[in-house]
Amino acid sequence: MKIKFWGVRGSTPTPERRNARYGGNTTCVEVRLSDGTMIILDCGSGMRPLGKSLLREFGEYPLHAYIFLTHFHWDHIQGMPFFLPLYRRGNHFFFHAVDRSADQFEDVIQGQMKNPYFPVDMGLLASTRHFYDIGSEPVDIHGAIVSSAQLNHPQGSVAYRIEADGAVFVLATDTEPGSAVHDENVRRIAQNADVFVYDSQYTPEQLAAERKGWGHSSWYEGVKILREVGAKRLVLFHHDPDSDDTYVDGLVERARGEHAETYGAAEGLEFYLPVDRVVRTYETRPSRERRYHLELPCRLWWGDGSGTRREVQGIARNISRSGAYFSAPEEVDISNPIEVEVEIPEDVSLDGGVLLRFVAQPIRKEWIPGPPGSDGPWLGIAAKRVEPDEAAAVSKPEKPTDD
Structure confidence by residue, pLDDT tens digits, 203-234: 999 998 888 989 999 999 999 999 999 999 99
**Which DSSP helix (H) or strand (E) runs through 195?**
strand 195-199
Q: How far is CA 274 from CA 168, 285, 293, in A?
A: 8, 25, 22
Q: How confident is the model at residue 395 (pLDDT cuts 50, 70, 90)?
A: very low
- Domains located in the chain, CATH noted: 2-277 (3.60.15.10), 291-395 (2.40.10.220)
Residue 256 CA to residue 234 CA, distance in Å, equals 9
The rounded distance, in Å, linking the Cα atoms of 266 and 246 is 13
The pLDDT value recorded for residue 259 is 96
Strands 354-368 and 338-344: antiparallel
Q: Is the pTM of this model over 0.85?
A: no
pLDDT in tens, 359-380: 888 888 888 877 777 777 888 8
Q: What is the pLDDT of residues 109-146, one digit of tens each?
A: 788 888 888 888 777 889 999 999 998 889 999 999 99
Distances (CA, A) of 149 to 100, 134, 256: 14, 12, 27
Between 403 and 268, the more confident residue is 268
Q: Kind of pairing, strands 195-199 and 167-172?
A: parallel
**Is the model's pLDDT at 276 over the cut of 80?**
no
Average pLDDT over residues 374-403: 60
Specify the pLDDT at position 101: 76
Q: How far apart are CA 36 and CA 192, in angstroms?
A: 24
**Mean confidence (pLDDT) of the chain:** 86
Average pLDDT value for residue range 38-44: 98
Going from the C-alpha of 195 to that of each of 1, 2, 403, the distances in angstroms are: 11, 11, 57
Q: Is 392 helix (H, G, I), strand (E, B) or coil?
A: strand
**Total H helices, total E strands in the chain:** 7, 22
CA distances (Å), origin 60, targets 54, 55, 88, 91, 334: 11, 8, 9, 10, 30
What's the burial of 242, exposed, middle or buried (CB within 10 Å: 0-12/13-18/19+)?
exposed
DSSP state of 400: P
What is the total residue count of the chain? 403
pLDDT score at 351: 52
